[in-house]
Chains A and B, each alone.
Chain A
Amino acid sequence: MEKNKAILPNILTWARKKSPWILHFNSGGCNGCDIELLSLLTPSYDIERFGILNEASPRHADILVCTGPVTEQVRPRLKRIYDQIPEPKWVLAVGSCSCSGGVFSGAYNILGGIDKLLPVDMYVPGCPCRPETIIDGIIKLVESIQ
Protein backbone atom coordinates (compact mmCIF):
# COMPACT_ATOMS: atom_id res chain seq x y z
CA MET A 1 0.00 0.00 0.00
CA GLU A 2 2.78 2.43 0.96
CA LYS A 3 4.59 1.55 -2.21
CA ASN A 4 1.49 2.25 -4.32
CA LYS A 5 1.20 5.74 -2.88
CA ALA A 6 4.68 6.57 -4.11
CA ILE A 7 4.04 5.14 -7.55
CA LEU A 8 0.70 6.82 -8.19
CA PRO A 9 2.00 10.41 -8.67
CA ASN A 10 4.61 9.08 -11.07
CA ILE A 11 1.98 7.31 -13.09
CA LEU A 12 -0.17 10.43 -13.16
CA THR A 13 2.71 12.61 -14.33
CA TRP A 14 3.59 10.05 -16.96
CA ALA A 15 -0.01 9.97 -18.17
CA ARG A 16 -0.26 13.74 -18.26
CA LYS A 17 2.92 14.05 -20.24
CA LYS A 18 1.69 11.50 -22.74
CA SER A 19 -1.66 13.10 -23.42
CA PRO A 20 -1.76 16.83 -22.82
CA TRP A 21 -5.16 17.96 -24.04
CA ILE A 22 -5.40 21.57 -25.03
CA LEU A 23 -8.26 24.02 -24.97
CA HIS A 24 -7.99 26.89 -27.40
CA PHE A 25 -9.50 30.23 -26.50
CA ASN A 26 -9.23 33.41 -28.50
CA SER A 27 -9.24 36.12 -25.87
CA GLY A 28 -9.32 39.00 -28.32
CA GLY A 29 -6.69 38.33 -30.96
CA CYS A 30 -6.63 39.02 -34.66
CA ASN A 31 -7.21 35.44 -35.88
CA GLY A 32 -3.66 35.08 -37.17
CA CYS A 33 -2.48 32.81 -34.37
CA ASP A 34 -5.82 31.03 -34.24
CA ILE A 35 -5.63 29.77 -37.77
CA GLU A 36 -2.03 28.74 -37.23
CA LEU A 37 -3.09 26.88 -34.10
CA LEU A 38 -5.90 25.16 -35.97
CA SER A 39 -3.59 24.13 -38.77
CA LEU A 40 -1.78 22.06 -36.14
CA LEU A 41 -4.66 19.62 -36.45
CA THR A 42 -4.19 19.17 -40.15
CA PRO A 43 -2.00 16.56 -41.85
CA SER A 44 0.96 18.87 -42.44
CA TYR A 45 1.60 19.35 -38.73
CA ASP A 46 -0.56 16.77 -36.97
CA ILE A 47 -0.07 17.39 -33.27
CA GLU A 48 -1.93 14.24 -32.38
CA ARG A 49 1.29 12.31 -32.87
CA PHE A 50 2.43 13.90 -29.60
CA GLY A 51 -0.76 12.81 -27.89
CA ILE A 52 -2.07 16.36 -28.00
CA LEU A 53 -5.78 16.69 -28.63
CA ASN A 54 -7.66 19.92 -29.22
CA GLU A 55 -10.50 19.63 -26.76
CA ALA A 56 -13.74 21.60 -26.90
CA SER A 57 -14.69 21.58 -23.22
CA PRO A 58 -12.61 23.22 -20.51
CA ARG A 59 -13.49 20.38 -18.14
CA HIS A 60 -11.52 17.89 -20.21
CA ALA A 61 -8.48 20.04 -20.85
CA ASP A 62 -5.05 20.26 -19.26
CA ILE A 63 -3.54 23.22 -21.07
CA LEU A 64 -5.33 26.47 -21.82
CA VAL A 65 -3.92 27.94 -25.01
CA CYS A 66 -4.77 31.63 -25.29
CA THR A 67 -4.32 33.73 -28.38
CA GLY A 68 -4.65 37.48 -28.29
CA PRO A 69 -4.68 40.15 -25.61
CA VAL A 70 -7.38 40.20 -22.95
CA THR A 71 -10.29 42.48 -23.84
CA GLU A 72 -12.66 43.82 -21.21
CA GLN A 73 -15.62 41.82 -22.45
CA VAL A 74 -13.67 38.57 -22.55
CA ARG A 75 -12.05 39.00 -19.13
CA PRO A 76 -14.75 37.41 -16.94
CA ARG A 77 -15.20 34.61 -19.49
CA LEU A 78 -11.51 33.82 -19.57
CA LYS A 79 -11.39 33.68 -15.79
CA ARG A 80 -14.41 31.38 -15.78
CA ILE A 81 -12.92 29.05 -18.37
CA TYR A 82 -9.68 28.91 -16.39
CA ASP A 83 -11.62 28.06 -13.24
CA GLN A 84 -13.46 25.27 -15.03
CA ILE A 85 -10.28 23.47 -16.04
CA PRO A 86 -9.49 20.80 -13.45
CA GLU A 87 -6.20 20.91 -11.57
CA PRO A 88 -3.39 20.56 -12.45
CA LYS A 89 -3.60 23.06 -15.31
CA TRP A 90 -1.22 25.11 -17.36
CA VAL A 91 -1.58 28.24 -19.45
CA LEU A 92 0.18 28.83 -22.73
CA ALA A 93 0.21 32.36 -24.17
CA VAL A 94 0.51 32.20 -27.96
CA GLY A 95 1.47 35.31 -29.90
CA SER A 96 3.03 38.65 -29.09
CA CYS A 97 -0.19 40.33 -28.05
CA SER A 98 -1.00 37.43 -25.78
CA CYS A 99 2.43 37.70 -24.14
CA SER A 100 2.43 41.44 -23.58
CA GLY A 101 -0.47 43.16 -25.26
CA GLY A 102 1.75 43.69 -28.28
CA VAL A 103 0.55 46.07 -30.93
CA PHE A 104 -2.74 46.65 -29.11
CA SER A 105 -1.28 47.79 -25.81
CA GLY A 106 -2.63 51.19 -24.91
CA ALA A 107 -6.08 50.64 -26.42
CA TYR A 108 -9.04 51.52 -24.20
CA ASN A 109 -10.57 48.08 -24.23
CA ILE A 110 -7.39 46.07 -23.74
CA LEU A 111 -6.15 44.88 -20.38
CA GLY A 112 -2.79 43.65 -21.67
CA GLY A 113 -1.25 40.20 -21.94
CA ILE A 114 -2.74 37.02 -20.53
CA ASP A 115 -0.43 37.26 -17.50
CA LYS A 116 -2.41 40.28 -16.29
CA LEU A 117 -5.23 37.89 -15.53
CA LEU A 118 -3.92 34.32 -15.33
CA PRO A 119 -0.61 32.75 -14.29
CA VAL A 120 1.13 31.93 -17.58
CA ASP A 121 3.48 28.94 -17.73
CA MET A 122 4.87 29.34 -21.20
CA TYR A 123 5.11 32.28 -23.60
CA VAL A 124 5.25 31.69 -27.35
CA PRO A 125 6.21 34.95 -29.07
CA GLY A 126 5.63 35.75 -32.72
CA CYS A 127 3.17 37.84 -34.67
CA PRO A 128 1.69 35.57 -35.77
CA CYS A 129 3.41 32.43 -34.48
CA ARG A 130 4.35 29.75 -36.93
CA PRO A 131 2.75 26.34 -36.28
CA GLU A 132 6.18 24.86 -35.55
CA THR A 133 6.72 27.48 -32.86
CA ILE A 134 3.44 26.61 -31.20
CA ILE A 135 4.29 22.89 -31.25
CA ASP A 136 7.68 23.72 -29.75
CA GLY A 137 6.00 25.75 -27.01
CA ILE A 138 3.56 22.99 -26.11
CA ILE A 139 6.27 20.32 -26.11
CA LYS A 140 8.56 22.42 -23.92
CA LEU A 141 5.69 23.03 -21.52
CA VAL A 142 4.91 19.32 -21.39
CA GLU A 143 8.55 18.48 -20.77
CA SER A 144 8.60 20.86 -17.84
CA ILE A 145 5.76 19.00 -16.08
CA GLN A 146 7.20 17.40 -12.99
Chain B
Amino acid sequence: MKMENILKKLIDALGLDSPTTMLGIPTEEHVLQILPTQLLSVVAKLGEYGVWHLSTITCLQDERFILLYHFWCFGNLTLRIELEPDDLRVPSICPLIPGAEYYEREVQEMYGIEFQGLPNPQPLLLPDNWKGGYPMRKDEHSNSSAAGEDRSKKLKGGLS
Protein backbone atom coordinates (compact mmCIF):
# COMPACT_ATOMS: atom_id res chain seq x y z
CA MET B 1 0.00 0.00 0.00
CA LYS B 2 1.25 3.48 -0.78
CA MET B 3 2.05 5.79 2.09
CA GLU B 4 -0.55 8.34 0.95
CA ASN B 5 -3.32 5.73 1.13
CA ILE B 6 -2.11 4.49 4.50
CA LEU B 7 -2.19 8.05 5.82
CA LYS B 8 -5.70 8.59 4.52
CA LYS B 9 -6.98 5.39 6.11
CA LEU B 10 -5.22 6.22 9.38
CA ILE B 11 -6.71 9.70 9.57
CA ASP B 12 -10.19 8.42 8.76
CA ALA B 13 -9.94 5.63 11.32
CA LEU B 14 -8.73 7.74 14.22
CA GLY B 15 -10.04 11.19 13.35
CA LEU B 16 -6.67 12.94 13.22
CA ASP B 17 -5.68 16.33 11.81
CA SER B 18 -4.54 16.40 8.20
CA PRO B 19 -0.80 15.92 7.66
CA THR B 20 1.80 18.55 6.85
CA THR B 21 5.14 17.92 5.16
CA MET B 22 8.82 18.49 5.73
CA LEU B 23 11.75 18.13 3.37
CA GLY B 24 13.13 14.71 2.62
CA ILE B 25 15.15 12.75 0.09
CA PRO B 26 14.02 11.84 -2.54
CA THR B 27 10.41 12.72 -1.64
CA GLU B 28 8.86 14.88 1.03
CA GLU B 29 8.22 13.49 4.46
CA HIS B 30 4.62 13.43 5.75
CA VAL B 31 4.25 14.79 9.26
CA LEU B 32 1.28 13.84 11.38
CA GLN B 33 0.66 15.74 14.59
CA ILE B 34 -0.83 13.58 17.35
CA LEU B 35 -1.36 13.70 21.12
CA PRO B 36 0.70 11.57 23.52
CA THR B 37 -2.46 9.64 24.44
CA GLN B 38 -3.07 8.70 20.80
CA LEU B 39 0.45 7.35 20.23
CA LEU B 40 -0.17 3.69 21.03
CA SER B 41 -3.34 3.44 18.95
CA VAL B 42 -1.70 5.16 15.98
CA VAL B 43 1.37 2.90 16.10
CA ALA B 44 -0.86 -0.17 16.42
CA LYS B 45 -2.91 0.92 13.40
CA LEU B 46 0.29 1.56 11.43
CA GLY B 47 1.39 -1.97 12.25
CA GLU B 48 -1.92 -3.28 10.93
CA TYR B 49 -1.40 -1.42 7.67
CA GLY B 50 2.06 -2.92 7.29
CA VAL B 51 4.26 -0.01 8.37
CA TRP B 52 6.81 -1.75 10.56
CA HIS B 53 10.06 0.11 10.16
CA LEU B 54 10.76 2.81 12.75
CA SER B 55 13.91 4.63 11.68
CA THR B 56 14.41 6.42 14.94
CA ILE B 57 12.93 8.75 17.54
CA THR B 58 14.20 12.32 17.56
CA CYS B 59 13.69 14.67 20.45
CA LEU B 60 13.74 18.45 20.03
CA GLN B 61 13.62 21.18 22.61
CA ASP B 62 11.67 24.37 21.97
CA GLU B 63 9.38 25.95 24.54
CA ARG B 64 7.94 22.46 24.58
CA PHE B 65 9.66 19.17 24.00
CA ILE B 66 8.86 17.59 20.67
CA LEU B 67 9.17 13.89 19.86
CA LEU B 68 9.42 12.81 16.25
CA TYR B 69 8.82 9.15 15.37
CA HIS B 70 10.28 8.60 11.92
CA PHE B 71 8.67 5.69 10.10
CA TRP B 72 9.69 4.37 6.74
CA CYS B 73 8.00 1.77 4.63
CA PHE B 74 8.54 2.51 0.97
CA GLY B 75 7.39 6.01 1.89
CA ASN B 76 8.02 8.42 4.73
CA LEU B 77 5.91 9.26 7.73
CA THR B 78 6.80 11.19 10.84
CA LEU B 79 4.60 11.29 13.93
CA ARG B 80 5.00 14.49 15.90
CA ILE B 81 4.15 14.72 19.59
CA GLU B 82 4.47 17.84 21.70
CA LEU B 83 5.07 17.54 25.43
CA GLU B 84 4.61 20.22 28.07
CA PRO B 85 7.82 20.78 30.07
CA ASP B 86 6.04 19.94 33.34
CA ASP B 87 4.69 16.62 32.11
CA LEU B 88 7.42 14.78 30.20
CA ARG B 89 5.76 11.38 29.96
CA VAL B 90 4.79 9.28 26.97
CA PRO B 91 3.87 5.60 26.73
CA SER B 92 6.62 3.31 25.51
CA ILE B 93 5.96 1.68 22.14
CA CYS B 94 8.31 -1.23 22.90
CA PRO B 95 5.43 -3.73 23.29
CA LEU B 96 4.40 -2.94 19.70
CA ILE B 97 7.85 -2.37 18.17
CA PRO B 98 10.59 -4.09 20.22
CA GLY B 99 13.20 -2.38 18.07
CA ALA B 100 12.28 0.98 19.60
CA GLU B 101 13.96 0.13 22.90
CA TYR B 102 17.35 1.72 22.21
CA TYR B 103 15.83 4.84 20.69
CA GLU B 104 13.63 5.36 23.72
CA ARG B 105 16.47 4.73 26.14
CA GLU B 106 18.62 7.23 24.31
CA VAL B 107 15.97 9.96 24.37
CA GLN B 108 15.27 9.19 28.01
CA GLU B 109 18.86 9.69 29.14
CA MET B 110 19.64 12.57 26.80
CA TYR B 111 16.49 14.66 27.41
CA GLY B 112 14.91 13.23 30.54
CA ILE B 113 11.66 12.20 28.90
CA GLU B 114 10.05 9.32 30.70
CA PHE B 115 8.88 6.43 28.54
CA GLN B 116 6.29 4.63 30.63
CA GLY B 117 6.63 0.88 30.45
CA LEU B 118 10.14 0.80 29.02
CA PRO B 119 11.38 -2.73 29.81
CA ASN B 120 15.01 -1.80 30.53
CA PRO B 121 15.53 1.80 31.59
CA GLN B 122 19.30 1.46 32.11
CA PRO B 123 21.61 4.07 30.57
CA LEU B 124 22.47 3.28 26.97
CA LEU B 125 25.28 5.60 25.96
CA LEU B 126 26.10 7.67 29.03
CA PRO B 127 28.73 6.37 31.44
CA ASP B 128 27.77 4.46 34.59
CA ASN B 129 28.90 7.26 36.88
CA TRP B 130 27.20 10.05 34.92
CA LYS B 131 26.02 12.90 37.13
CA GLY B 132 25.82 15.72 34.61
CA GLY B 133 22.07 15.87 34.04
CA TYR B 134 20.57 15.55 30.60
CA PRO B 135 23.38 16.46 28.21
CA MET B 136 21.35 17.22 25.09
CA ARG B 137 19.11 19.82 26.72
CA LYS B 138 19.76 23.40 25.70
CA ASP B 139 20.36 24.68 29.23
CA GLU B 140 22.97 21.97 29.84
CA HIS B 141 26.57 23.08 29.32
CA SER B 142 28.46 20.21 30.81
CA ASN B 143 31.06 20.48 28.08
CA SER B 144 32.42 23.85 29.22
CA SER B 145 36.13 24.13 29.89
CA ALA B 146 35.39 24.47 33.60
CA ALA B 147 34.12 20.91 33.71
CA GLY B 148 37.26 19.75 31.92
CA GLU B 149 39.55 21.44 34.43
CA ASP B 150 37.61 20.00 37.29
CA ARG B 151 38.01 16.52 35.86
CA SER B 152 41.75 16.81 35.30
CA LYS B 153 42.21 17.96 38.92
CA LYS B 154 40.28 14.98 40.14
CA LEU B 155 42.46 12.73 38.04
CA LYS B 156 45.73 14.11 39.30
CA GLY B 157 44.53 13.41 42.81
CA GLY B 158 43.54 9.88 41.87
CA LEU B 159 46.64 8.92 39.91
CA SER B 160 49.69 8.27 41.96
Query: Do the two chains belong together in a single complex?
Result: yes
Q: A: which residues have CB within 8 A of B?
A: 71-73, 79, 106-109, 111-112, 116-117
In the complex, residue of chain B having the shortest beta-carbon distance to the beta carbon of A71: B127
Q: Is the interface of B mostly helix, strand, loop or mixed?
A: loop
Q: B: which residues have CB within 8 A of A?
A: 126-130, 132, 135, 142-143, 145, 147-148, 151-152, 155, 159
Assess the A116–B155 pair: CB atoms within 8 A.
Answer: yes
Minimum CB–CB distance from A13 to chain B (whole Å) comes to 27
Assess the B155–A107 pair: CB atoms within 8 A.
Answer: no
In the complex, residue of chain A having the shortest beta-carbon distance to the beta carbon of B132: A108
A73 to B143, CA, bound (A): 16
Assess the A72–B143 pair: CB atoms within 8 A.
Answer: no
A79 to B145, CA, bound (A): 23
Minimum CB–CB distance from A54 to chain B (whole Å) comes to 27
Assess the A117–B159 pair: CB atoms within 8 A.
Answer: yes
CB-contact partner of A107 in B129, B143, B145, under 8 A: B143
Residues of chain A within 8 A (CB-CB) of B147 are: 108
Residues of chain A within 8 A (CB-CB) of B159 are: 79, 117
Residues of chain A within 8 A (CB-CB) of B129 are: 72
Minimum CB–CB distance from A16 to chain B (whole Å) comes to 25
Q: What are 19 contact pairs spanning A and B, CB under 8 A?
A: A71-B127, A72-B127, A72-B129, A72-B130, A73-B126, A73-B127, A79-B159, A108-B132, A108-B135, A108-B143, A108-B147, A109-B126, A109-B135, A111-B148, A111-B152, A112-B152, A116-B152, A116-B155, A117-B155
